[in-house]
Amino acid sequence: MSFRIEKDSMGEIRVPEEAYYGAQTQRAADNFPISSLRFSSPFISALGLIKATAARVNADLGLLDEVRANAIVNAATEVADGKLDEHFVLDIFQTGSGTSTNMNANEVISRRANELLEADEAQERVHPNDHVNMGQSSNDTIPTAIRLSTVRQGKEHLIPAIDHLRARFLKKGKEYANVVKTGRTHLMDAMPVTIEQEFGGYARQLELAQQRLTDALARNLELPQGGTAVGTGINTHPEFGARFAKGVAQATGIEFVEATNHFEAQATVDASVELSGQCKTLAISLIKMANDLRWMNSGPNGGLGEVELQALQPGSSIMPGKVNPVIEESVIMVALQVLGNDTTISVAGQTGNFELNVALPVVAHNMLESIHILGTACKNFADLSVQGLTVRTDKIAENVSRNPILVTALNGIIGYDLAAKIAKQAFAEDRPLIDVAEELTELSRSELETILNPADLTRPGIASS
C-alpha cells in the first residue's frame, strides 16, 4: 500500500494514498483498533445530508461562497447516497462525542469536494473544519445524525415491516375464522378460542407497537444542530438551527424541527432511550408470538400439533426428516439482541456530565441495529412463517372435543362444585365431557350439546337451562 503525508495541529502522519480521509481520521483509526463494528450506512447517509444542508444554509446566510458550497453539497450528497462508505473506517468504540467520525466526514467531503473543484479548474480549496464543518460541532452534529438516521429508518423500514406482519396475522386469522381451538392459560387447557381471535390478539399487539414507536419517533424530530459546542450556538449564525431543520425537513419529507432546547438535546440521549424502550416492547411482543407458534407447531405427533409451519430446511444433522420452527427461533434471537441493545442504550443514557453525553457512538450503533433487525425480522416472520402456515383442523377439533374445561359453561346451571366433579371424572376416565355431564346432571343430551357447543363458547354469554 502506498501512503501520503497529511498534517494537522499535532503534526504529520501517514495516510493511505487512496483514502479520502485525512490526518484526524487516521489518528483515530490508529487509536481505536477495538472491534470490527463500524457506523452503518443509514448513519453515514445522515452525516452526508447534514453536511450538505449546512453548506446550503451557510451559503444562503452569506457565510460560505457559492463555489465552495456547491462543491461541498455535491460531495456530501455522494456520502448521503452511500458512494463513499468505504472511506468511513472508524470503530464504534472511539471518543464518546463521536468527534472522530464527524472529522472523518469532514475530511472525506473536503477531499472529494476539492477533486470536484480541480475538475472544474476552480482556484478555491475546501477545508474540512473551516468550510465543511462551518457553524457546526461534533457535539451537535453527532446527536443530530442519531436522531435523523433513527427517525428515517423507523419510518421507512420498521413501521412498514410491523404493519406487514400485522396484515399477515389478520389475513391468516380470517382464513381460519371458524376454526375453534383449545385456549390455554398456564399452558393448561382452558376455554376455547378461535384462530381468528388468537391471531387478532397478535395483530393488536403489533398495532400498539406501531403507535408506541410513532409516538417515540416524534420526540426524535427535534434536531440539536445549531447548538454547536455546548448548546449556546457559539460560532454559528443565530438563524442556522431553524434554517437547517427546515432544509432537512424539505430533503426528507419528514417534519424535523430545531430543538426546543439545545442544552437538553445535546446533553442527553433521552429521546433514544425512549425509542429503544419501545423497540424493546416490540421485541417482547415478538417473543410471545414466536413462542406461541412454536408451541402450536410442536410435535407434530408428540406435541400440540395445531398448526404446521412451512418446512424450510432440514432440522437435524442426525435425525432424518426432522423439521424445526427456524424462523420463530430467528425472531426470538433478534428480540434477545434488541433487549441487550436496550440495556446498553439505557446505561449509555446515564453516561456523561453537564453539556454532553459521551457514549454517542454506541447509542447510534445499537439504536440503528435494533431498528434494522426488528424490521427485517418482522418481514421475514410474516413472509416465511405466518403467510405459509396451515391449521390442522382435525387435530384441533379432536383436542377441543375432549377438553374437560368446557364444563365451565355449566357453572351458572349446576354450580362450580358439580362442574368440577364432572371435569375431574371426565379427565380421570378419559371420557368425553358430555357423556359424564349427562350421567351426573338432569340436563338432556340435546341441552348439553347446545350449552357445550365450542363455537358458542368463544363469545360472551351466560348459559341457562
- Residues 234-271 have pLDDT tens digits of 999 999 999 999 999 999 999 999 999 999 999 999 99
Q: How far is the C-alpha of 285 from the C-alpha of 282, rounded, in Å?
A: 5
Which residue of the set 2, 186, 317, 464 is catalytic?
186
Residue of 300, 343, 358 lying closest to 325 (CA atoms): 300
- For the segment 408-427, the average pLDDT, to the nearest whole number, is 95
Has 365 been annotated as catalytic?
no
Q: For residue range 188-232, what is the model confidence (pLDDT) as tens digits?
A: 999 999 999 999 999 999 999 999 999 999 999 999 999 999 999
3-state SS, one letter per residue, for 53-82:
HHHHHHHHCCCCCHHHHHHHHHHHHHHHCC
* Residues 108, 110, 111: CA angle, nearest 5 degrees: 70
CA 332: distance to chain centroid? Answer: 13
**C-alpha grid cell, residue 39:** 457506523
- Please check the confidence at residue 72 and state whether its pLDDT lies above 70: yes
Domains defined for the chain, CATH in brackets: 19-134 (1.10.275.10), 140-393 (1.20.200.10), 402-458 (1.10.40.30)
pLDDT-derived band of residue 465, with 50, 70 and 90 as boundaries?
low
pLDDT of 66 above 90: yes
Amino acid at 182: T
pLDDT tens-digit readout, 75-90: 999 999 999 999 999 9
**What local confidence, expressed as pLDDT, does residue 464 receive?**
72
User: Is residue 74 within 8 Å of 50, Cβ to Cβ?
Assistant: no
pTM, to two decimals: 0.96
Q: Using one digit for the tens of pLDDT, what is the confidence trace for 262-310?
A: 999 999 999 999 999 999 999 999 999 999 999 999 998 899 999 999 9
Which among 12, 278, 15, 352 is positioned nearest to 286, based on CA atoms? 278
pLDDT digits over 418-433, tens only?
A: 999 999 999 999 998 9
For the question of residue 316 being annotated catalytic, the response is yes
Q: What is the pLDDT of residue 120?
A: 83
